[in-house]
Structure 1
């Protein structure tokens, strides 16, 4: 007995069923798997960065230091110093300044610490007196029980505290290793950075080599502008807040100003954290009113930074949206901790300048890009829709339409 095969009229035997899937569903599926691939690639990049952080973080910091010190090296080279000697002079001078500042800060911290301890004890006595005689009306036994519980907690977690101390010791060793590696890489970047970049660009296909070369140079130019401007902003922040703390009589002025200077290299978040530390110290030493005044000083300096200094010094060369800055810092903090937060915004500035160059420059010439000038971070060709683009479009239309027009004679059509 033969059985006839039942055919489904909606699924023809020899036809592709893709056409039966709604177009919206096909587009959504295509976007979904591409999105998954991009997220997986980003996760792989973040994992590699975290795994190789011992190398990548010193490499990135060396790049920042090179962007900061390259102008000084170039000035010495311009007056006929050999590049190797110029690099050595700049690095030795930089290390001497850094060592002197660290020595001065540590000395100031050591001399101001006893005063801070005394004021802290006085503040604790005031708090204890308020707990006893103020609205809480606690008894001396209750306060002593709380102190005993704190001591017992420390004793019970002594092993964890010891482990943390050992971890800190190993971290200090890693920091020392990272410092030496950073110094070593910086020497080669300053003395032979041009040759290193040229060697890397040779791996790019010839038809796009110039575009990639110029994009990288513009990215480094934006990094130079960013580091230079951020250092200037950090100095203004540290001096402004330091003067305010000195006027208010807050101890540890120099260490707190140094902390503000370091925090200024992490935009938005760094200033908030370091300013908060200054306010807390003022609260302990000068009371509530003094802390409010210091808070007003910190807010005033931050407003000066965000509305005057950053637009004036950074300009359009490394202009980044605040949301992009916050997201980049958060991603860097998650991926690599404090070093990641420090390096996130410079990396974003480099990518911004490089991508803009790739998108808007059609016939770039690497020889025309001076990475030590702020203007080098801008692509030469105007962005689509800009004034230069409109002029170029009009000129092209005239050039195309003119030959097609019939020649006119005097008074005759």
Structure 2
């Protein structure tokens, strides 16, 4: 009897392990869809404060959602018809300027350094082979493996760009859906909680969602602020690519911690390469000052009002989230840290004090 029970116990345990492996594999296969859905919910919570402002002004929810959708659509159409063509034109000019600098001998010093440091590496032959590969597709079979690897990396990069654009479109559609059905989603989630714990759960959940919405709006404000100020400053110093630089600053500043620094370094280096030191110096000085103002004045005010998380926790959570899930992880890590802090404050600590 004991052997039979042991056999059944082992069989049940083995089936449980297999089921856990199957569930893990299924989650891994749909991980991209889960990330898109999470991003859609995240953005939906970001526009919810705007909807609530309209509702407080006695606008029905359907009307508030419609107005927000029209506003988002108007911004998108305006960007496509007014801003995007300018960005594309200036980005094309940027690429042409970089190519011109390269053709004008900007990389000769680098190639000379490679020849002196690695004399066994034939730079001239490698450049000839690369040029031949780009102009004559029949020579691919006779080229070294590294050329094929470079070409494969370029093809993969184009594929990743197309995949990213498709993902952005899906996230926007999901955001619109979640925004319209957010009350019903929250009602269904609340009904899963036992009635005795439901009021406290609703209170904490509402605070968490408000923090997420304020954080998203705050990051958007940071990006807009950096983009507008960058455009004004670059226009003053006479940069011909002010629009594309400002667009880079706007997009990058929505990424916590590293976004503004990365954009500042990239823009300063590009201005140095294309416009010379006399233009790059004031640009670099401006970004040094702006980064200090953002780090010590603007960003702390937004964080304290939105998520109320200590600075150390903000840095650690953003680093951990970025390591696990990349840019999206860095974005959602700070609201998640705020939610954990709120749960500890409202649930865990009172239970410990009651013992």
TM-score scaled by length of structure 1: 0.64
Aligned CA RMSD, in angstroms, stands at: 3.6
* Aligned match of 2:203: 214
Q: Which of 265, 268, 275 is equivalent to 2:257?
A: 268
Is residue 285 of structure 2 the alignment partner of residue 296 of structure 1? yes
In the TM superposition, what are the counterparts of 1:184-223 in structure 2 within 5 Å? 184-223=173-212
How many residues are treated as equivalent by the alignment?
A: 312
Structure 1 residue 284, shift from structure 2 partner: 0.5
Q: Note the alpha carbon deviations across 1:354-400, whole angstroms, 9 max, x for none.
A: 443334678xxxxxxxxxxxxxxxxxxxxx9xxxxxxxxxxxxxxxx
TM-score scaled by length of structure 2: 0.73
Structure 1 residue 317, shift from structure 2 partner: 4.4
Structure 1 residue 306, shift from structure 2 partner: 1.6
* Aligned match of 2:242: 253
Q: Which of 113, 118, 123 is equivalent to 1:146?
A: 123
Contact preservation (8 Å) 1:119, 1:285: yes
Is residue 72 of structure 2 the alignment partner of residue 94 of structure 1? yes
* Aligned match of 1:70: 48
Q: Note the alpha carbon deviations across 1:214-247, whole angstroms, 9 max, x for none.
A: 1111111111221222222222222222222222
Q: Note the alpha carbon deviations across 1:183-203, whole angstroms, 9 max, x for none.
A: 343234322312212211222
Which structure shows the bigger proportion of residues in helix conformation?
2
Residues 242 and 47 of structure 1: CA distance in aligned 2, closer, same or farther (over 3 Å): farther
Contact preservation (8 Å) 1:105, 1:258: no
Q: Which of 258, 269, 275 is equivalent to 1:286?
A: 275
* Aligned match of 1:55: 33
Is residue 172 of structure 2 the alignment partner of residue 183 of structure 1? yes
Q: Note the alpha carbon deviations across 1:137-196, whole angstroms, 9 max, x for none.
A: x99xx9xx6354234357444543454454345434543543344234323432231221
Is residue 185 of structure 2 the alignment partner of residue 160 of structure 1? no
> In 2, distance between residues paired with 1:353 and 1:55?
28
> In 2, distance between residues paired with 1:91 and 1:185?
13
Residues 84 and 291 of structure 1: CA distance in aligned 2, closer, same or farther (over 3 Å): same
Computing the radius of gyration over CA atoms, which structure comes out larger, 1 or 2? Answer: 1
* Aligned match of 1:377: none
Residues 185 and 122 of structure 1: CA distance in aligned 2, closer, same or farther (over 3 Å): closer
Q: Note the alpha carbon deviations across 1:74-106, whole angstroms, 9 max, x for none.
A: 344445554334323322320331242245443
> Mind listing any 5+ residue stretches in structure 1 that lack a counterpart?
1-44, 363-383, 385-413
* Aligned match of 2:15: none
Residues 222 and 131 of structure 1: CA distance in aligned 2, closer, same or farther (over 3 Å): closer
Contact preservation (8 Å) 2:49, 2:210: no
Is residue 233 of structure 2 the alignment partner of residue 235 of structure 1? no
Structure 1 residue 319, shift from structure 2 partner: 3.3
* Aligned match of 2:84: 106
